[in-house]
Amino acid sequence: MKLEGISSKQIRFFSWLVLVFCLILGWLGILLSLLGIFFGVIIKFYFLLAFGASAFFLVKNFHRDFWKSEFFLVIAVSLTAALAFLFWSAPTIFSGRDQGSLSEAAIRLVENNSLPFSSEISNEFFKIYGPGKALNFPGFNYNFEGNLITQFSPGYIAWLASFFSIFGLTGFSLANGLTFFIFLVAFYLVSRQFLTLGPALASLFLILTSFVFPWFLKFTLSENLALALFWFGLFQLLNFLRKEDRFSFIYLLLTWGLFIFSRPEAWAFILIINVLLFFKLRNKKDLQILILDKKNLALILIIGVIFTASVRVNPQAFLELFKGALKPLLFFQKEISGAKAFSLFFYMLKVLKIYFLSGFLIFAAMEIFHLIRKKKTEMLIPFLAGLPAFFYLIQPGITLDHPWMLRRLAFCVIPLLVLYSVFLWNDFLKKRIFFYAVCGLMLAGNIGITAPFLTFIPDENLLRQTADLSQNFAASDLIFVDQKTSGSGWSMMTGPLNFVLGKQAVYLFNPADVAKINLEKFSDVYFIIPDGQLAFYEENGLPGRLNYIKDYQLHNRILTETTVEKSQVSGMRTSLPEIKDITVRGGIYKLKK
Q: Can you give 132-197 as a three-state secondary structure string?
A: EECCCCCCEEECCCCCEEECCCHHHHHHHHHHHHHHCCHHHHHHHHHHHHHHHHHHHHHHHCCCCH
pLDDT computed for residue 137 by the predictor: 95
**Across the beta sheet with 132-133, what order do the strands follow?**
132-133, 140-142, 148-150
318 neighbors 325 (Cβ within 8 angstroms): no
Residues of the chain with pLDDT under 50: 1-2, 332, 334-337, 567, 571
The answer for residues whose C-beta is within 8 angstroms of residue 375's C-beta and 6 or more apart is none
- Dist CA 307 CA 312 (whole Å): 9
- Dist CA 252 CA 273 (whole Å): 10
pLDDT computed for residue 147 by the predictor: 96
Sequential DSSP letters for 477-517: SEEEE-TTTTS-TTSBSHHHHHHTT--EEEE-S-GGGGGGS
Among 18, 11, 418, smallest CA distance to 181 is for 18
- Dist CA 457 CA 557 (whole Å): 8
Using the Cα atoms of residue 5, residue 9, residue 15 and residue 18 in order, give the sign of their dihedral: negative
Pairing mode, strands 132-133 and 140-142 = antiparallel
- Dist CA 148 CA 584 (whole Å): 30
- Dist CA 519 CA 194 (whole Å): 66
Instruction: Give the rounded percent of residues in the chain with a pLDDT score beyond 70.
Output: 90
Amino acid making up residue 25: L
Residue 1 parent element (H or E): none
The number of beta carbons lying within 10 Å of the beta carbon of residue 242 is 15
pLDDT computed for residue 234 by the predictor: 96
Give me the chain's average pLDDT, please: 89
Pairing mode, strands 546-559 and 140-142 = unpaired
178 neighbors 21 (Cβ within 8 angstroms): yes
- Dist CA 339 CA 17 (whole Å): 49
Give, rounded to a whole angstrom, the gap between the first and last alpha carbons of the chain.
75
The answer for residues whose C-beta is within 8 angstroms of residue 278's C-beta and 6 or more apart is 284, 287
- Dist CA 176 CA 167 (whole Å): 13
pLDDT computed for residue 398 by the predictor: 81
pLDDT tens-digit map of 550-588: 999 999 998 887 765 554 555 455 788 999 999 999 999
Q: Is the peptide bond before 403 cis (omega within 30 degrees of 0)?
A: yes
- Dist CA 112 CA 93 (whole Å): 18
The answer for residues whose C-beta is within 8 angstroms of residue 325's C-beta and 6 or more apart is 264, 265, 267, 268
pLDDT computed for residue 504 by the predictor: 95
